[in-house]
Amino acid sequence: MLHDNVTPYQSSDSKKEQVAQMFDNIANRYDFLNTLLSAGTHKGWRKKCVNLLKTKQPKVILDVATGTGDFAIECAKLNPEKIIGIDISDGMMQFGREKLKKLKLESLITLENGNAETVAFPDNTFDAIVVGFGVRNFQNLEIGLDNLYRILKPGGQLVILEFAYPTNWFIKGLYNFYFSYITPLVGKIFSNDNRAYTYLTESVKAFPNNEKFVAILNKLKFKNTNFKGLSFGVAAIYYAEK
Ligand SMILES: C[S@@+](CC[C@H](N)C(=O)[O-])C[C@H]1O[C@@H](n2cnc3c(N)ncnc32)[C@H](O)[C@@H]1O
């Protein structure tokens, strides 16, 4: 099945509506389950992404699909002038805003409702754009990435973190077991949504990862594209410039 057609509830609502509803439903458990299900590994992955941005010292950064704001908060270490996080789930951002308040980062980081595919920032606005576990959920992947290209400054950097599908047969076996049985079960027990963590598994499997994703970035005219597998290939960082 084409990844754009993999949806949380398989209902007649658009994928965007279903995804926003799903993240609103699980928002209060999202951070907890992220840490539980990845044994905390997701924090290190975001750090690796932010390290890739260090050399160019971006001043204005966009965190797309910011959710509860973890990627935006990690980007604060780059000492930029401004970070904007956008997301289609107000429920997720509500928890993000509480974190920003506690960390006294409210003046540096603002979170706004916005859809990657349609957000209307002017052309060439951002020095860097990051997306953590977001592109898999776009309604139309290429329209979303193309819009990010438009609002990135020439020479600006795009760093995407996303789950991937390992190639090693042994890791793949463990991964299939974990993602098919453990993740949906734990997700069902702890979140308020029976489908969310099953959708996670289905959407990861259908997603064009690694070289396929780089090919899409190249098709959309991004330059200096590459990817790096993380933790035996269960996730990947994609890097590109405009
Ligand atoms: C798995 S969460 C990731 C949150 C955060 N980036 C992180 O690293 O933990 C995915 C987020 O993507 C958001 N999202 C999905 N499609 C989107 C779109 N088209 N535009 C903006 N946000 C989107 C969802 O609402 C959700 O909050």
Residue 1 confidence (pLDDT): 59
Structural domain of 98: 3-241
Nearest to 36 by CA among 148, 190, 152, 169: 190
pLDDT value of position 201: 86
CA distance 235 to 228: 9
Provide mean pLDDT across the span 168-182.
89
Q: Is the dihedral of CA 42, 87, 221, 210 positive or negative?
A: positive
Position 86, amino acid: I
pLDDT of res. 116: 98
Q: Which among 93, 127, 129 is positioned nearest to 111, based on CA atoms? A: 93
Residue with CA at minimum distance from ligand 1 atom 15: 137
- How far, in Å, from the CA of 170 to the mean position of ligand 1? 30
**Ligand 1: distance of its center to the CA of 26 in Å?**
12
Is a pLDDT exceeding 80 seen at residue 240? Answer: yes
Distance from residue 90's CA to the centre of ligand 1 (Å) = 11
| Residue 200 Cβ < 6 Å to ligand 1 | no
Residue 189 has pLDDT above 90, yes or no: no
Confidence of residue 34 (pLDDT cuts 50, 70, 90): confident
The per-residue pLDDT for 35 is 86
> 60: burial class by Cβ within 10 Å (0-12, 13-18, 19+)?
middle
pLDDT band at 172, cuts 50/70/90?
A: confident
Q: How many domains does the chain have?
A: 1
pLDDT score, position 40: 83
Q: 95: which 2 tokens?
A: 């928890």
- Confidence tier at 39 by pLDDT (50, 70, 90): confident
Instruction: State the chain's mean pLDDT as an integer.
Output: 94
The CATH number linked to 37 is 3.40.50.150
Round to whole Å and give the CA distance between 63 and 52: 15
Distance 64 CA to ligand 1 centre (A): 7
Residue 173, Cβ density class (10 Å: 0-12 exposed, 13-18 middle, ≥19 buried) = exposed
Question: Ligand 1, residues 41, 66, 87: which to mutate, most atoms within 8 A of Cβ?
Answer: 87
